[in-house]
């Protein structure tokens, strides 16, 4: 069974409560984290520490981790602006932040799972039709090398883009853009885009998406759990 989280944003209590519930109720769990563990909320370090404790996982880069890494490298970044919330992350980690930089630098930026007949792409944000998806799925370097090699603008990348677009043959699962409840988009009766960022740090719930690996019909077999459990 696959459990997907996105945009935890330092909301440790909701995250811990939901993980504890999942671990009690389910077995043979694989986690996929879609990035944005940090910023805005008060407990970014606790969130990252819990992610690190989880054994069977895929962990992806979000735009907030990307902003932080640019800042730490002395490059232009709006990470510390009030809206982006980097100051809360600095307060949460304190002097220990440098110890976590290798973890952030090694994050993948996209992930593919073929589950039964469905091609799931897991990404922090939406994917543009002009984004070189096939190349991204086979790329061995890091996010910034990929942008440079394929001349992809940062705002058009799969950790910053905000426009849901139909990518033929794939179901894109992402966060990045807060919504009141998970949004499932269809074309010709087929699901192509699922947004699970339900704005926990803004007072909404933290959502976990569950995909059973024996999935037979995507419309009926997707489940969502909320952080108020």
| Distance (Å) of CA 163 to CA 32, 159, 174, 211, 213 | 22, 12, 11, 24, 28
Domain that holds residue 152: 2-226
Which among 53, 85, 57, 86 has a CA at the least distance from the CA of 69?
Answer: 86
pLDDT at residue number 217:
54
- Count of domains forming the chain: 1
DSSP per position, 21-69: HHHHH--S-EEEE-S--SSSSS-HHHHHHHHHH-SSEEEB--HHHHHHH
First vs last C-alpha separation in the chain: 19
pLDDT at residue number 229:
38
Q: Diameter of the chain by CA atoms?
A: 52
pLDDT at residue number 161:
98
120 contacts 213 by C-beta, under 8 angstroms: no
pLDDT at residue number 189:
85
Instruction: Please give the backbone phi and psi of residue 112, each rounded to the nearest 5 degrees, phi first.
Output: -120, 140
pLDDT at residue number 116:
82
- What's the order of all strands across the beta sheet hosting 207-211? 57-59, 30-33, 2-5, 207-211, 222-226
SS3 190: strand
List for the chain the helix, strand, coil content (%; round to 5): 35, 20, 45
Residues of the chain with pLDDT under 70: 215-222, 224, 226-229
What is the reported pTM? Answer: 0.94
Residue 85 belongs to a domain with what CATH number?
3.60.21.10
Q: For residue range 32-81, what is the model confidence (pLDDT) as tens digits?
A: 999 999 999 999 999 999 999 999 999 999 999 999 999 999 999 999 99
Q: Residue 180: how many CB atoms within 10 A of its CB?
A: 9
């Amino acid at each position: 069974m696959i459990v997907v989280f996105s945009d935890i944003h330092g909301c440790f209590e909701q995250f811990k409560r939901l993980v504890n519930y999942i671990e009690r109720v389910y077995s043979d769990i694989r986690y996929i984290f879609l990035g944005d563990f940090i910023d805005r909320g008060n407990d970014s370090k606790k969130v990252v520490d819990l992610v690190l404790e989880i054994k069977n996982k895929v962990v992806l880069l979000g735009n907030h981790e990307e902003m932080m890494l640019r800042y730490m490298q002395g490059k232009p970044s709006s990470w510390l602006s009030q809206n982006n919330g980097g100051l809360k992350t600095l307060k949460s980690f304190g002097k220990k932040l440098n110890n976590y930089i290798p973890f952030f630098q090694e994050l993948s930026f996209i992930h593919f799972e073929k589950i039964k007949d469905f091609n799931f792409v897991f990404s922090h944000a939406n994917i543009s039709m002009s984004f070189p998806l096939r190349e991204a799925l086979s790329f061995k370097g890091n996010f910034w090398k990929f942008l440079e090699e394929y001349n992809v603008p940062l705002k058009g990348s799969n950790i910053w883009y905000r426009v849901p677009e139909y990518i033929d043959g794939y179901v894109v699962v992402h966060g990045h853009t807060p919504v009141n409840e998970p949004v499932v988009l269809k074309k010709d009766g087929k699901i192509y885009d699922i947004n699970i960022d339900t704005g926990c740090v803004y007072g909404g719930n933290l959502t976990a998406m569950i995909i059973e690996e024996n999935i037979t019909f995507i419309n009926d077999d997707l489940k969502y759990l909320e952080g108020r459990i």
